[in-house]
Chain A
Amino acid sequence: MSSPNSKRGRSSNPPTPLSEDPTSPPSQRRRTQDSSIGDLMAMPTSPGTDLLSPAAPQDTSLLSSPRPSVLPPDVDMSSPLMYGTPSSRMEGTPRSGVRGTPARQRPDLGSVRKAPQVDLQSEQPVSDATVGSEPSGGQRLVIWGTDVNVNICKEKFQRFVQRFVDPTSTEDENAGLDLNEPLYSQKLEEISVVGDPVLNVNCRHLQSFDAELYRQLVSYPQEVIPTFDMAINDLFFDRFPDSFLEYQIQVRPYNALKTRNMRSLNPEDIDQLITISGMVIRTSQLIPEMQEAFFQCSICGASARVEVDRGRIAEPAACRHCNVSHSMALIHNRSLFSDKQMVKIQESPEDMPAGQTPHTIVVYAHNDLVDKVQPGDRINITGIYRAVPMRANPLQSSVKSVYKTHIDVIHFRKTDEKRLHGLDEDAEQKLFTEDRVQSLKELSLKPDVYERLASALAPSIYEHEDIKKGILLQLFGGSRKDFSQTGRGHFRAEVNILLCGDPGTSKSQLLQYVYNLVPRGQYTSGKGSSAVGLTAYVMKDPETRQLVLQTGALVLSDNGICCIDEFDKMSDNTRSVLHEVMEQQTLSIAKAGIICQLNARTAVLAAANPVESQWNPKKTTIENIQLPHTLLSRFDLIFLMLDPQDEAYDRRLAHHLVSLYYHGEEQMEEEFLDMSVLKDYIAYARTYISPRLSEEASQALIEAYVDMRKIGSGRGMVSAYPRQLESLIRLSEAHAKVRFSERVETIDVEEAKRLHREALKQSATDPRTGFVDISILTTGMSATARKRKEEVAQALKKMIQTKARTPAMKYQQLLEELRAQSETAVTKELFDEALRALADEDYLTVTGKTVRLLA
């Protein structure tokens, strides 16, 4: 079995020890550490069905006779040896403490439950000839086909429950429990109080406590879990003899270490306990599955109960009471049914190799697990992997040699459940290996890490260093702050960026890159998206006919980045929903009877084209983009992407492009950081680092803010608002995150200031004055100055027109005349601006100290 194809070619589970191959994994070996191995070896040729071999269930359906003759004839199927059937467990559990709490069937453990499981407890007389004839006389007896000894297994599990302590537990299930006390004992207490008879057991705990028991659980879940059930019930009713439960406690293991991707499941995993992750795509309606049939004799009225045996019901041929044959009729109303639901799981998109379609797998949920999950949920399921042969018709001679596979689920665990509540990023915490963390930390210590990361961003896009830096800071984001106590709620931590510029300056490419880089990115185009597409809409689910809330791009990119291309082409209606999202980070919906507020903690990266498709340098940003300034002020950074028109730049650009087209992939990769490293770096920083402002940094921020206000106040204009201060804080925090620093230092503030200024210099430069003027962004007008300027310009024009038609005038003379005419004071600056405005109209030109009229 050492052939390279052993993965597929190997027998899934050699049923007898003789055929066992030494290379098969340890979990497959049914070998105990004790001396009874020899005993087990003594039954090589027994024709019994191997419980674990996938061939086992075949006899349920492939052969028409309900009881294949391969069973050891002496095993009495109804003997109390068979635990696990409702009746037998009630009477068969000898402990008095269980007090007749009804046991509930566990269809999740499979319908082959009644296959020849020979529970050879040593105090019981061994009735089975095949096994009983073992020479050792039943000292260490095990369940047929396994190495599980029920008593030992029970003891071990009870010991585990009573002793296991996990002081470092961080799971939310354990919230409120004393971590230094035995964990599962506390859970039992919880059960006695709450009355929900389900005990979830983390397999990781079990493994750390008793690896052998864990191995048995994973290899023979079908046998071991009922044993656990028995053990836990004994324990529970010993401790809480007076508590009342609806039915006996069921143990649900989860988080089996055999956690796998759906793709790696193979025939070896059949009948083993596995945990896989995926996304629910479909749930069926509830299916009633008969567990116990009730027959009544139509002649004498005597009744009989028949349990389902591997999907079949043996109809009594004759009435036991009156001995009339074929008189028994099934009474549906009095039969017992259990709930069952088919759930289809699809591989999560992250687990899939590129270029392939996702795999799906069928999962059966039973009893209370029915309707626990909805389509779209991301879940981890723990269950037993099954293979059932395709059903064949008894009349057909040939069979399809294919099995159908499914998972009988034991435990569901939603992975995205927490996203609806609070700010919890643990749920999506990516697990980093030690090595990775180490290498990331090393990288963070490099002095030029900021530059390195920035240049690793979209290497195919040339230069635009500051824009890339801005986007990098956006990817990291600021720290979350909660001011709910003081009544302001959450502060936005996300950085919003607007890219604005000529067509063909690779804005879209940048957006695409960012969208591909972040795990929860959304890409929409302003032209193609409507308000509902961005926010959320209510629709009728075609299957359930219930109203369901379908979320749009902004909600989907919660904790991610929403890239909006062609921002300018968006309708005003659509854009207005962005107001709330971009500052409050929530989305309020009130429609069709659903009123709710959804979190939309998304950073917005938008790209807009100028109105005239080409940037008009004579106009202000507002005039060029034509976006409402209320929205513009919500962007932390607004970058202009314009052609620098510079020879050196051109040369570098040309070189970059030519090598892009010519060099192979490898050469380019060497120069830059790997995209995956960048991804991990960002993910790590976002998860683990939340910097706080240091004293010096606060001082620096205050100074920066005061400076920003001063710039404008000199000319009677306010140039910065508190919103800009918040932006500065966010940017400094993000920069500190880049350094993996828990403290925001002055250098972070310096960089934030620089970037803010760079962005502003480009976007908020008043083209007429050359001054930075934030009010262009916040109000669309440089305060009242521009209005005043217009008036002055008009007055000046009128004055010139009324004057004699001299083609040239003295500058100083004009100023004095205007001052004399005007009621309010005309400053020299104002006069200059008025002249420039008229010059823009091509009415006059100013050369030195003379003003010439044109035309």
Chain B
Amino acid sequence: MSSTHDWINNPLGVVKEMFDMSHNNSTSGWEEKVVKFFKEQLKEKDARTAVPSLNDVPLHYLKPNSLVKFRCFIQDMFDPEFYMGAYETVDPSSKAKMMQCGKYKDVAECSVDFHSSNTVNAERQTFYCVPVPGESPWVKERYASESQGRVVPSTSYAPSRQKRSYEDDDDMDTHPQKQREPNSAVGPQSPDNHHGNADCKRQETEAPSSQAASASHLDLNFPLPGEKGPSCLVKVYEDWDSFKLNDMLEVYGILSVSPVLSVLADEKETSSSLLDPTDSMETAAEQRVHCPPASLVPRLHLVHSQRLLHNNPLMPLTVMEQNTAFLSSTLSEMAAVRAELLTYFTHVLLGDTLAAEYLILHLISNVYNRRDVLPLGKFTLNLSGCPTVGSYTERLYHIIQQLVPSSFYLGMTLQNLNQMRLVPKKDYVANRLVSGALQVPKNTSLFLDETRLEQGQLDTAGVHNVTALGNLISWQKVDYDFNFHQMEFPCNVNVLVTSEGRSLLPSDCQIHLQPQIPPSQIEEYLSSLHVPSDSSSQVNKFRIFLGVARLLDYSISDEVTKSVEDDFVDMRKDDPQSVSAEDLHRMLVVARLLSLSLGQTTLCRDSWMRAKHIEMQRKTRVEQQKCVNGNEP
């Protein structure tokens, strides 16, 4: 019992013990031992949940230098830094020398002997991590409720904190629960939102001396507007090349919030720069970004991390294959759940079963491979003909948000297009990657609401934004702007475009909504629209269904390949104009998604026929629509 608490509450003690045992002999491999120790500990049952999470416990309830976990997203990577891996201290009174370990720490003990020959320098990498962008409230709540690592505010600890803690309490306590109010997520929000100002205020009180020169608020650089939560500087000691920008991670690390970190930054400005010009080189902006106050942006010294394939709390973390029990039980239920979901979506999509079918396919699509530049498996859906009454699209987004782990609503108003930053851009002054709304983790549902588009002029930024959206849809990549050059980052985002007519953005598949409700009653119907309650078991089933279907493997047997080929040739024979290579591409994707949605991991003839059938239905509908408004291209 006590040992558990030791490694959670005082991980540095564990590190120190191992370090001391090694007697500064680097062949002893104490570093590997430390890593291995934590890995083993975390393998234990319930060990993971026992570690308090930075996501749902307010920062000031957490003990400094204790082990915490953080579910996060790598937003930026800073330059590697050199630090004292081991150093010697001299006791001023007794002159006794002691070896100290500098790993997993930001601050060195006092009276360091800088001239000691035993100093070992080492290198570590810093990542700037933010909470997973666009994470749905239900995901956060679910994770929070699972975590047993709730820490009670300890009175003995409070005095060591700055006085402002109490103000922050009100702030922080309430937020994890209502992280995203409905309207904050849906309404068109200017990126410079309220909470940024709050930060500003807080920061100024925190470190008044440094603020004279840099009054602008501290931008925590969240990719999506309206996000909340702690961001974190994660210091990585091993194997940092394996981490990629935009990775979703669960990190276990030692929390470091020493106020010295921010104080050191303040002192810089006051100290004379003439004597040591090296210090004045970093601009204030850079300073602010790379050394933000630790009370706002804590440091985490990573001891263990796991790349997250998904952030669905209802599914096991590990790869599907290793969890055969879970997999088989879900697979057997797939078809039934799918039928339920179809009924529900039909209800939501005003009685349109075909559109509901496509919506399911869209939600489980996933870029599973890339052939040179071509991403395979993407399935961008353009839902045209959306009623503009009763904020239908927003309701639709809410329902989707309830079902998928991460999502983002982007109302394509002119203002948003012209002013929002979609593409991340490198800010060379502050030396950081300024995030944009398209910097999202994989499998985020991006909901583009084109019904909000009105007439007007797009300026240069707007054109760039539309181009970026187009690139995202067509190639599943975003070209980050590095000023002197662009860098391509592949992504994997499910884009759903709702529009009245055909969307101005490209899409893989367009379906025109055919409401079975007379237009006059739509408003009434909408108000009675059933939104799944959070706790119902049905909703959870849907959530698992969508999550699992996305991760399944898939193959096509030679037999079916043959018959697909024959089919294609036959279709072309009748009317070469009607089916193009593009159509075959789409049909193959539809067939794949259809099979997966039924829990089948290989394509069977039935699914292929069915895919063909719904594609035909959809096409005739699009044709009809063209005839109705003839002037539409």
- A14 part of interface (Cβ distance < 8 Å): yes
Contact with B along A282-320 (1 / 0, CB 8 A): 101001011000000000000000000001110000000
- B109 part of interface (Cβ distance < 8 Å): yes
- B526 part of interface (Cβ distance < 8 Å): no
Contacts of B245 in A (CB 8 A): 355-357
Do A654 and B568 have beta carbons less than 8 Å apart?
yes
Beta-carbon nearest neighbor of A403 in chain B: B82
- B147 part of interface (Cβ distance < 8 Å): no
Do B114 and A63 have beta carbons less than 8 Å apart?
yes
- B275 part of interface (Cβ distance < 8 Å): yes
Beta-carbon nearest neighbor of A504 in chain B: B582
Q: Given the known A-B contacts A353-B241, A397-B110, A525-B467, are A661 and B372 also in contact in the complex, defined by CB atoms under 8 Å?
A: no
Beta-carbon nearest neighbor of B276 in chain A: A311
Q: How far is the CB of A29 from chain B (nearest CB, A)?
A: 16
Beta-carbon nearest neighbor of B464 in chain A: A528
Contacts of B83 in A (CB 8 A): 401-403
Contacts of A660 in B (CB 8 A): 371, 376
Do A509 and B588 have beta carbons less than 8 Å apart?
no
Beta-carbon nearest neighbor of B260 in chain A: A398
- A746 part of interface (Cβ distance < 8 Å): no
Contact with A along B471-509 (1 / 0, CB 8 A): 000110000001111010110000000000000000000
A352 CA / B633 CA spacing, docked (Å): 43
Do A460 and B263 have beta carbons less than 8 Å apart?
no
Contact with A along B236-264 (1 / 0, CB 8 A): 01100101111000000000001011011
- B305 part of interface (Cβ distance < 8 Å): no
The total number of A-B Cβ pairs within 8 Å is 257
Contacts of A825 in B (CB 8 A): none
Q: How far is the CB of B459 from chain A (nearest CB, A)?
A: 13
Q: Which of B29, B80, B117 contacts A14 (CB 8 A)?
A: B117
Contacts of A458 in B (CB 8 A): 372
- B32 part of interface (Cβ distance < 8 Å): yes
Q: Which of B79, B109, B244, B277 contacts A340 (CB 8 A)?
A: B277
Which of A200-208, A643-651, A787-795 lies on the face that meets chain B?
Answer: A643-651
A459 CA / B372 CA spacing, docked (Å): 8
Question: Which residues 38-63 in A have Cβ within 8 Å of B in the complex?
Answer: 47, 49-50, 53-56, 58-63
Question: Which residues 336-386 in A have Cβ within 8 Å of B in the complex?
Answer: 340, 342, 344, 346, 349, 352-362, 375-376
Do A459 and B371 have beta carbons less than 8 Å apart?
yes
Do A68 and B115 have beta carbons less than 8 Å apart?
yes
- B323 part of interface (Cβ distance < 8 Å): no
A525 CA / B464 CA spacing, docked (Å): 11
Most-contacted residue by chain B among A1, A525, A662 (CB, 10 A) = A662
- A546 part of interface (Cβ distance < 8 Å): no
Q: How far is the CB of A741 from chain B (nearest CB, A)?
A: 29
- A474 part of interface (Cβ distance < 8 Å): no
- Where chain B touches its partner, the secondary structure class is mixed
Do A10 and B26 have beta carbons less than 8 Å apart?
yes
Q: Which of A376, A398, A402, A661 contacts B82 (CB 8 A)?
A: A402
Contacts of B429 in A (CB 8 A): 282
Q: How far is the CB of A585 from chain B (nearest CB, A)?
A: 23
Question: Which residues 181-210 in B have Cβ within 8 Å of A in the complex?
Answer: none
A359 CA / B123 CA spacing, docked (Å): 14
- B373 part of interface (Cβ distance < 8 Å): yes
Beta-carbon nearest neighbor of A14 in chain B: B117
- B46 part of interface (Cβ distance < 8 Å): no
Do A657 and B584 have beta carbons less than 8 Å apart?
yes
Which of A387-395, A446-454, A748-756 lies on the face that meets chain B?
Answer: A387-395
- A279 part of interface (Cβ distance < 8 Å): yes
Contact with A along B52-88 (1 / 0, CB 8 A): 0000000000000000000000001101111111010
Beta-carbon nearest neighbor of A556 in chain B: B485
Most-contacted residue by chain B among A352, A460, A668 (CB, 10 A) = A460
Q: How far is the CB of B77 from chain A (nearest CB, A)?
A: 5
- A9 part of interface (Cβ distance < 8 Å): yes
Beta-carbon nearest neighbor of B261 in chain A: A400
- B215 part of interface (Cβ distance < 8 Å): no
Contacts of A358 in B (CB 8 A): 482, 487
Contacts of A469 in B (CB 8 A): none
Do A11 and B576 have beta carbons less than 8 Å apart?
no
- B107 part of interface (Cβ distance < 8 Å): yes
Q: Given the known A-B contacts A5-B31, A10-B120, are A398 and B114 also in contact in the complex, defined by CB atoms under 8 Å?
A: no
Question: Which residues 101-152 in B have Cβ within 8 Å of A in the complex?
Answer: 102, 105-110, 112, 114-124
Beta-carbon nearest neighbor of B113 in chain A: A55
Which of B5-13, B266-274, B516-524, B534-542 lies on the face that meets chain A?
Answer: B266-274
Q: Given the known A-B contacts A4-B32, A349-B485, A660-B376, are A645 and B572 also in contact in the complex, defined by CB atoms under 8 Å?
A: yes
A287 CA / B275 CA spacing, docked (Å): 12
- A6 part of interface (Cβ distance < 8 Å): yes
Do B565 and A355 have beta carbons less than 8 Å apart?
no
- A130 part of interface (Cβ distance < 8 Å): no
A70 CA / B113 CA spacing, docked (Å): 11
Most-contacted residue by chain B among A62, A68, A313, A643 (CB, 10 A) = A643
Most-contacted residue by chain B among A63, A290, A389 (CB, 10 A) = A389
Question: Which residues 526-551 in A have Cβ within 8 Å of B in the complex?
Answer: 528
A357 CA / B238 CA spacing, docked (Å): 18
Do A399 and B107 have beta carbons less than 8 Å apart?
yes
Beta-carbon nearest neighbor of A516 in chain B: B373
- A444 part of interface (Cβ distance < 8 Å): no
Closest 4 CB pairs of A and B: A355-B244, A58-B114, A401-B108, A654-B568
Sampled A-B contacts (8; CB under 8 Å): A7-B123, A11-B118, A267-B121, A311-B275, A396-B263, A400-B108, A459-B371, A658-B565
